[in-house]
Amino acid sequence: MLTSVPPTAPSTVPATPAGPAPAARLDVAADLLALLHDTATEPRTDPQLEALTLAVAADLPVLLWGEPGIGKTAALTQLAASLDLPLTTVIASVHEPSDFSGLPVVGDDPAVQGVPMAPPDWAVRLVRAGRGLLFLDELSTAPPAVQAALLRLVLERRVGALRLPAGIRIVAAANPRSSAADGWELSPPLANRFVHLQWTHDHEVVVRGLGGTWPEASLPRLDPERLSGAVTFARRAVCGFLGARAALVHRLPNNEARRGGPWPSPRSWEMALRLIAFATAAGTSREVLSMLVRGTVGDGPGLELLASMDRMDLPDPETLLADPAAADLPQRGDLRQAVLDGVVEAIRKRPEKSRWDAAWTLLVRALETGAPDLVVVPATTLATLRQADWDVPASIERLAGVASLSRQADNAAARVAATTGGGR
């Protein structure tokens, strides 16, 4: 029996319109990606970027510390592009120690020729280029054996039997152990070879950068006429400070985490001296200099050194006592206080009537040109140095009101404190 076959219903699926081939679509996608990567730079004050470029100019290895995704790698890529340096990125955590110390290659007669250590291909490319930026990424996830192999690379610029040329700069990046993938603390010998910079994001920089404009990274402009003076100043600053603080010449921290950061040693003090010389020759701001010094010898020793540098150019107390009426005193309160205390100490060491009178004239000068409260303590101390046969100078009357007001303020503060305590 024959069955009838129903007619085939017409297809309702529309035909695919003709269009560009998949390869052509990828070309269009590439054009869009190119537009997204097409960014510009602009001069902008960025202390951490300025500190990085100055350390790079000083040919010191730099280690950028920051949380993941903060933009450390992007900053290095932009820095290399701005300085027109080829960038070579090496992920330290995925390499073996032999990748930095060199692979042994047995020749025809090892007993005569020895066994040379062959360098990796990235090191050979750097030597051929003669210049470039070597970026050691993920340093805090490198195991101790790899960190040990990196010691010679960072300090001596040697990879196996190959020596990197002077035109190579080294910058590394690391995440804190708490946020690193299977992270390790940096070994003290490796940490002591770097200038440590804390890398943070600036909201305005990020927003403007996503809009297509990032800060311009440029090397510092060194004044040729200031080079010799900068070296003299840096040596005087560091040597003078360590002469008075001998215990800070070498101090290995007890805490394991702090050993993986900046700490004072003869090597790191030499790095600090070099950075001070470069910062002085470039006229760098104090904020940038503070970041560099503290990133080399640690926060405590670094801040002490900076405070010592502030006092280096203070006027000599004997010079001030020779002509107190025309004395030029510092405007900054802490420096002015240090000068006045130095003058009083000079009187204590060599008490003479003429010098004592000159000190009172100097205090009057300080009262007329600065904050009155800075004069109270030196005046009180100077008064105790008076000898029995010394007449009270007329200038002391100018200071009597200041001391009286200070006592009244102290008494009022004491009464308020007593009242508050009684209320409790």
Give residue 182's pLDDT band: very low, low, confident or very high (50, 70, 90): low
**CB neighbour list of residue 387: distance below 8 Å, 6 or more residues apart:** 351, 353
pLDDT in tens, 238-250: 998 998 889 999 9
pLDDT of amino acid 419: 63
Phi and psi of 332, rounded to 5°?
-65, 130
pLDDT in tens, 316-359: 888 899 998 888 888 888 888 888 988 999 999 999 999 998 99
The more confidently predicted of residues 396 and 10 is 396
Task: Report the chain's mean pLDDT, rounded to a whole number.
Answer: 84
pLDDT of amino acid 408: 43
3-state secondary structure the chain: CCCCCCCCCCCCCCCCCCCCCHHHHHHHHHHHHHHHHCCEEECCCCHHHHHHHHHHHCCCCEEEECCCCCCHHHHHHHHHHHCCCCEEEEEHHHCCCHHHHCEECCCCCHHHHCCCEECCHHHHHHHHHCEEEEEEECHHHCCHHHHHHHHHHHHHCEECCEECCCEEEEEEEECCHHHCCCCCCCCHHHHCCCEEEECCCCHHHHHHHHCCEEECCCCCCCCHHHHHHHHHHHHHHHHHHHHHCHHHCCCCCCCHHHHCCCCCCHHHHHHHHHHHHHHHHHCCCHHHHHHHHHHHHCHHHHHHHHHHHHCCCCCCHHHHHHCHHHCCCCCCHHHHHHHHHHHHHHHHHCCCHHHHHHHHHHHHHHHHHCCCHHHHHHHHHHHHCCCCCCCCCCCHHHHHHHHHHHHHHHHHHHHHHHHHHHHC
Averaged pLDDT, 179-207: 84
0.85 exceeded by pTM: no
Give the span between the Cα atoms of 308 and 310, in whole angstroms: 5
Averaged pLDDT, 389-402: 74
pLDDT of amino acid 7: 57
Q: Is the pLDDT of residue 360 over 80?
A: yes
* CB 241 within 8 Å of CB 305: yes
State which of 60-74, 213-227, 231-245, 290-304 shows the largest mean pLDDT.
290-304
pLDDT of amino acid 421: 57
State which of 206-220, 224-238, 372-386 shows the largest mean pLDDT.
224-238
pLDDT in tens, 364-373: 888 888 888 8
pLDDT of amino acid 172: 93
Give residue 143's pLDDT band: very low, low, confident or very high (50, 70, 90): confident
Q: Is the pLDDT of residue 422 over 70?
A: no
Give residue 417's pLDDT band: very low, low, confident or very high (50, 70, 90): low
Angle at 371 between CA 400 and CA 330, to 5 degrees: 120
Q: Is the pLDDT of residue 17 over 60?
A: no
Q: Is the pLDDT of residue 89 over 80?
A: yes
Q: Is the pLDDT of residue 264 over 80?
A: yes
The more confidently predicted of residues 107 and 35 is 35
pLDDT of amino acid 271: 97
Q: Which two tokens stand for residue 81?
A: 């592009």
Averaged pLDDT, 211-231: 88
Domain 44-103+117-215, CATH homologous superfamily name and number? P-loop containing nucleotide triphosphate hydrolases (3.40.50.300)
pLDDT in tens, 397-409: 777 666 554 454 4
Q: Is the pLDDT of residue 163 over 50?
A: yes
Angle at 307 between CA 302 and CA 310, to 5 degrees: 130
State which of 176-180, 403-407, 412-416 shows the largest mean pLDDT.
176-180
The more confidently predicted of residues 82 and 107 is 82
Averaged pLDDT, 278-289: 94
Phi and psi of 168, rounded to 5°?
-95, 130
Domain ranges (residues) in the chain? 44-103+117-215, 224-310, 317-423
pLDDT of amino acid 406: 44
